[in-house]
Amino acid sequence: MEKQNQVFQGKNVYGGIAIGSIRLLSQSEGGIRRIQARDVEAEVVRFTEAREQAKEQLSRLYEKAKQEVGEHEAAVFEVHRMMLDGVDFADSITKMIRAQEVNAEYAVAHTGEEFAAVFESMEDDYMKARSEDMRDIASRVIAILQGRKTEELRLDEPVILLADRLTPGETVQLDKTKILAVVTRHGSVYSHAAILARAMNIPAVMGVDFPEDVDGKSAIVDGYEGVLYVEPDDALRTKYRNRKNEDEKQKHLLMELKGKDNVTPDGKRIDLFANIGSVSDVADAVTNDAGGIGLFRSEFLYLEAEDYPDEEKQLQAYRAVAEGMEGKPVVIRTMDIGADKQANYFKLDKEENPAMGYRGIRICLERKDIFQTQLRALYRAARYGRISILFPMITSVEEVREIKKITGEVKAELEREGIPYKDAPLGIMIETPAAALMSEELAQEVDFFSIGTNDLTQYTLAADRQNAKLERLYDPHHPAILKMIQMVVENGHKHHCRVGICGELGADLTMTKIFLELGVDELSVNPPMILKIREKILSMD
């Protein structure tokens, strides 16, 4: 009887095909027992010293990662160091040691799990992923308290690595030449370990419930579909060898397009920019030859924080993106909190229809202190590159004029304080039918438009894009959407206002020719799509 393929489904983190043998990574920390502390203050000192050692380890990992995968990916370890340095985390541990008279290891494990549980309870996927960061930080401190050393994994030959979970520290220490793919039981596609795997170009799948008896067995990893095949049969091997060969040919073809201009044979040109969600994504944009950043979603700074990020923290993030793009344009969207992106400390009321509720610019114009802090950081960061500022969820000229009044006040305040800054072009998202219909008037107020086709589609067609039952109604190709895009382009150009598209429709290769014919100035897409669109443009009739 022919052997059946064992198939295990997970979530794709980074595309690619890997064929090889499995190496199962053992990650036993030993049990963390609750022990009555004889000397409470000695336990507090033990924790404090271990925390300092952990911070030193993270600094070393930052330097290693900076050399091997780039400064922006290395920022993961700076984030961990800051989280470890957080007052709430340290205070909770020391208070527990003193109040319950327990050993430092138990207090760290218990507190780390409590903090992780808070993140896991959040609706936003990005925030859920921060639970892995909390567990990583706690594990690092516990390992130091227990006197355990973390050693780099030694491999004699290339393998498919399977693990319960991988921390960013473990990920960055992997020998890329010996890792064909990474598969984990736990972890999120938004985790920092996932970000590092993508930066290292390693096919990766997370959330796979694989059995324990797989070490040494043959396997195939389909990073595109998020599937692990254990002991595949000959037919499946042949299929995936062919796919892997096609993959390599496609990668070589796309690499040949690097550095080429996005111009059709008959002379039509369009800029191809990248959409990114964090500082670490800049490396992906650079690797894929983005002409700039067309959409940097700044809300990640708010979603990963326990409180409102201050001006300095924001400045460092915006500056890192600007410098990382080395003089290429960078469009940073002001925080689009609300709807499906919730941060608990904002204390937003529960809404029946949050997509049409209190979100984006509506929050900013009401809670001006938060808005002004972000604008100060943006204008200061503009000195380090070509930053433009983009405002979401606009519906009226009055909103834009109020924004411009506030930006003027912010610049005047920086001037009075003697703080260096640089002016920046202002743009708005066209993602509501109101903004599209008012685009001629709005074009006279701003420097550029960025059409967010995802929200524009759901608002125009009255079809919630997150409601599976309405999937057939949510149609970005609907004639009404295309007419709106055409109207926005014509009205924008009439008043010398650049028009780009940053929604998912921009990456639709069946639409590329239409966008060129409509005169769209720029498409901003996920980085891996940039060279594919360029190939389409260069071969267009």
With both helix axes pointing from N to C terminus, report the angle between 125-145 and 71-84 in degrees, rounded to the nearest 10: 70
- Separation of alpha carbons 114 and 106, rounded Å: 12
Q: Is 495 a catalytic residue?
A: no
Q: Are 450 and 430 in contact (CB under 8 A)?
A: yes
Q: Exactly one of 110, 364, 497, 502 is catalytic; which is it?
A: 502
φ/ψ of residue 297, rounded to 5: -80, 100
Which of 328, 434, 311, 431 has its CA nearest to residue 370?
A: 311
If you count them, how many residues does the chain have?
A: 541
Element containing residue 461 per DSSP (H, E): helix 453-461
Count other Cβ atoms within 10 Å, centred on residue 478: 15
SS3 of residue 412 by DSSP: helix
- Separation of alpha carbons 358 and 277, rounded Å: 22
Which of 333, 330, 257, 265 has its CA nearest to residue 294?
A: 330
Q: Beta strand 204-206 with 179-184: parallel, antiparallel or unpaired?
A: parallel
Burial-class residue 211 by CB neighbours within 10 Å (0-12, 13-18, 19+): exposed
No. of helices (H) and no. of strands (E), the chain: 20, 16
Burial-class residue 480 by CB neighbours within 10 Å (0-12, 13-18, 19+): middle
Q: Is 110 a catalytic residue?
A: no
Q: Are 145 and 105 in contact (CB under 8 A)?
A: yes
Q: Beta strand 227-230 with 159-163: parallel, antiparallel or unpaired?
A: unpaired
Which of 532, 61, 539 has its CA nearest to residue 289?
A: 532
Q: Exactly one of 72, 192, 364, 497 is catalytic; which is it?
A: 192
Tokens of 253: 């073809």
Tokens of 142: 């516990």
Q: Known catalytic residues?
A: 192, 502
